[in-house]
Amino acid sequence: MIDDGTGHLTIGELARATGLTVRTIRYWSDEGALPPVTRSAGGYRLYDAGSVARLELIRTLRQLGLGLDHVRAVLAGETTVAEVAATHVAALDAQIRSLKVTRAVLSTVARRGSTAEEMTLMNKLARLSAAERKRILEEFVDEMFHGLDTADPVIRERMRTVATDLPDDPTPEQVDAWVELAELLQDPEFKAQMRAVAEFNAADRGYDTEDGASLWFAQRMIKLAAEARERGVAPDAPEAAEILRDLLGDADPADVLARLESPTNDAAARYRELLLAVKGQESGAAHREEFAWVTAALRARPAS
């Protein structure tokens, strides 16, 4: 303390009083966050007890990650600590989300043994916004159903509006699923297979067919097959033939079997599984086992 009766402190004394380095205090002073109260006859910066309190506030704000611009605004009364804290919380939340995505991408890269090129693509796809992911899916579905006026509008709309949001804290499996899905949506072979699915759907319907009928048939098939599997009904059992007659009605069993055995069915199943995986749901909800049971039952059905 300068022994002049003023109680003023030099930078060195301020450093000893606060535990901060002289270099740090001088830098904050140079940046306008801690202006000196006055200067000594020799031109040295001098501070007072209020400077100690101000310095403690600066240190706290800096430890919490606030930049000097925000610190100066708080000290000048241009904003409040609460307002700055709220802004900083939002920024930290965004940073935390970004770090979680980074961790998930790196975990996926490590598990896959990805190349640098694959990692770059994976990181780009994982960081797409929800709006960008939605746009990619909508464009795929629009292309899939383009020109097919008799395709079931309920299915088309359900596919267009399905959520593909990654959570704020995605698992490596969710990132992996989204990356594979995004790659498939750009793959010409996959797009051709899914276009064939849409064409099958359109061919089954007339302009007077009730909307949602295709979805109802698929749900009924899954329900009957699941019940049969739960009861232990073998696909080649007489009871299975009864279930098929109840399910198919006037439909041609050979035509249904051909579609179930088509590569397009595998493409559609993989599409459903990836959507479920992105949402963090079990892949069993894609109902491969139920479709497999119906396929086996149709193979075992005697030709009529």
| 3-state secondary structure labels for all residues of 63-81 | HCCCCHHHHHHHHCCCCCH
pLDDT at 293: 92
116-132 per-position pLDDT tens digit: 877 887 787 777 777 78
pLDDT at 59 over 80: yes
How far apart are alpha carbons 236 and 293 in whole angstroms? 10
> 154 vs 100, which has greater pLDDT?
154
How far apart are alpha carbons 167 and 70 in whole angstroms? 31
64-115 per-position pLDDT tens digit: 888 888 888 888 888 888 888 888 887 787 777 777 777 777 877 787 787 8
243: left (phi over 0), alpha (psi -120 to 50) or beta: alpha
pLDDT at 67: 85
How far apart are alpha carbons 278 and 299 in whole angstroms? 34
Among 19-33, 69-83, 130-144, 152-166, the least confident range: 152-166
pLDDT at 24: 93
176-220 per-position pLDDT tens digit: 888 888 888 889 999 998 898 888 888 777 777 788 777 777 888
246-290 per-position pLDDT tens digit: 888 777 888 888 888 888 888 888 888 888 888 887 766 668 888
What residues contact 64, with CB distance under 8 A and at least 6 apart? 85, 88
Region 154-180: mean pLDDT is 80
Q: What is each CA distance from 183 to 2, 108, 156, 244, in whole angstroms?
A: 71, 15, 21, 37
Region 25-30: mean pLDDT is 92
> 155 vs 166, which has greater pLDDT?
155
Tokens standing for residue 265: 């069915």
> 229 vs 97, which has greater pLDDT?
229
Is there a contact between 34 and 58 (Cβ–Cβ < 8 Å)? yes
Q: What 3-state DSSP class applies to 125?
A: helix
How far apart are alpha carbons 241 and 231 in whole angstroms? 15
How far apart are alpha carbons 95 and 169 in whole angstroms? 12
The predicted model scores a pTM of 0.58
Q: What 3-state DSSP class applies to 138?
A: helix
109-139 burial code (b ≥16 CB/10 A, e <16): beeeebeeeebeebbebbebeeeebbebbee
What DSSP string runs through 275-301? HHHHTT--GGGG-HHHHHHHHHHHHHS
Is there a contact between 2 and 40 (Cβ–Cβ < 8 Å)? yes
Task: Give φ, ψ of 39 to 5 degrees.
Answer: -130, 155
pLDDT at 230: 92
pLDDT at 213: 76
pLDDT at 286: 66
pLDDT at 6: 63
Tokens standing for residue 254: 């050979």
